[in-house]
Amino acid sequence: MTDTASPTETAPRFDAAAIRDQFPILGTRSHGKPLTFLDSAASAQKPQAVIDAVAETYAFQYANVHRGVYELSERTSAAFEAVRGKARGLINAAHDNEIVFTSGATEGINLVAQSWGRANLGPGDEVLITEMEHHSNIVPWQLLRDEMGITLKVAPFDDHGVLIMEAFEKLLSERTKLVSVTQISNALGTVLPVREITAMAHAAGALVLVDGAQGVPHLAIDVRALDCDFYTFSGHKLYGPSGTGVLYGKADLLAHMPPWKGGGDMITSVTFEKTEFAAPPMRFEAGTPNIAGIIGMGAAMDWVAGLDQGGLAAHEDDLLAYGAACLSEIPGLRIIGTAPDKAAVISFVLNYAHPHDIGTVLDNQGVAVRTGHHCAQPVMEHFDVAATVRASFGAYSSRDDIDALVNALEIVRELLG
């Protein structure tokens, strides 16, 4: 024995147990068994700090924002607007006015499609996406295709779930006006080389929209380093309330985009003859927003900022490696998506049971996973499966959760195998 400890002995460990204690729901039971929550890619659970922020807003600091001269409204407006700065810092945007509040990543993509797309696209113009997109980054472009005559191109991925960059590059042309890609596949966990994609798209004269719904919870985001033109994400995947989100857009782009929805708070003046619209971001935030939800999203951003980011990344990498190793030992199990660069998502199938039946048995053991096509049906088609079982991890997840999944899958084998 020596006086010098090994690096693994001296390095501070990421304390997932202490983090888990901050999430009340994770201390509950399901079907009489301790809850094992493995569906964070759909919606992450909420720490007490976020729950408190929402409750305190409704209990002690609720009024409509931007419209009242009384103190309560001014306090609520200040708390609401402070979240813009938090979001700017989270993704390293240049200005607060580049942050548009939305109901989530889906609305962010639709906002770009309906505002920028309608103003800048026409027949024959091309939008390039990938084969691994969530439906939210497919359907809005199909709607424009069917209505306006644009062309939708799709870049393929290989059987490991890796985007084929040569094919992607060949699909770029002078007709490509927008490249819209996910940062992390929700169904496969693949991390796309967004910076490289953006550089290639810009060289072809195209703008870039990044769907960061899965990216923000797992990666350090710097939109200026990525140089993307738009970036969108959801609050509910970032340990915040549902019905909240952010669209980042470069200031010069937002300034020239028309409003998508009309109503209160997005105008400077209205007559029956003419309306003058507010400058971004207010131009894109018609109506009363999800006030307490946005403040809660700000609390989630504060909570995430307080984590050891390097430790979190290492923790999730460990869970991914441990989970893949454990699941690979199960007879008849095939992991769908084996890209070398992955985030904390493992999708799989068993050759003797349908994913929905697997999910039902797992649920009876207290293990919550997502089953189905995960709003990514083209991905399922690529692998010739109807659906998969998806286990996804968050900051509160642990090896114990994976062990519970493996033990529950043994019961699946006994009942269905």
Q: Which amino acid is at 259?
A: P
Q: Cα torsion at 392, 396, 398, 400 (round to 10°)?
A: -100
Q: Which amino acid is at 6?
A: S
- From the number of C-beta atoms within 10 Å of its C-beta (0-12, 13-18, 19+), residue 127 rates as buried
Q: Cα torsion at 274, 260, 208, 205 (round to 10°)?
A: -40
Query: What are the residues whose beta carbons fall under 8 Å from the beta carbon of 384, sequence distance 6 or more?
Result: none
- What is the C-alpha separation between 241 and 101, in angstroms, rounded? 13
Determine which one of 286, 324, 375, 411 is catalytic: 375
- What is the C-alpha separation between 333 and 405, in angstroms, rounded? 13
375 assigned to active site: yes
Query: What are the residues whose beta carbons fall under 8 Å from the beta carbon of 97, sequence distance 6 or more?
Result: 251, 254, 279, 280, 281
- What is the C-alpha separation between 374 and 321, in angstroms, rounded? 22
∠ at Cα 45 (183, 219), nearest 5°? 25
User: Does a cis peptide bond (omega within 30 degrees of 0) precede residue 355?
Assistant: no
Q: What is the DSSP string of 242-309?
A: TT-EEEEE-HHHHHTPPPSS-STTSEEEE-SS-EEEPPTTGGG--S---HHHHHHHHHHHHHHHTS-H
Phi/psi at 401 (nearest 5 deg)? -65, -40
What are all long-range contacts of 300-303, with beta carbons under 8 Å and residues at least 24 apart?
A: 300/46, 300/47, 300/49, 300/50, 300/235, 300/238, 300/239, 300/240, 300/241, 301/83, 301/86, 301/87, 301/89, 301/90, 301/238, 301/240, 302/49, 302/86, 303/47, 303/49, 303/50, 303/239
Classify 121 as helix, strand or coil: coil
| Residues designated as active site | 375
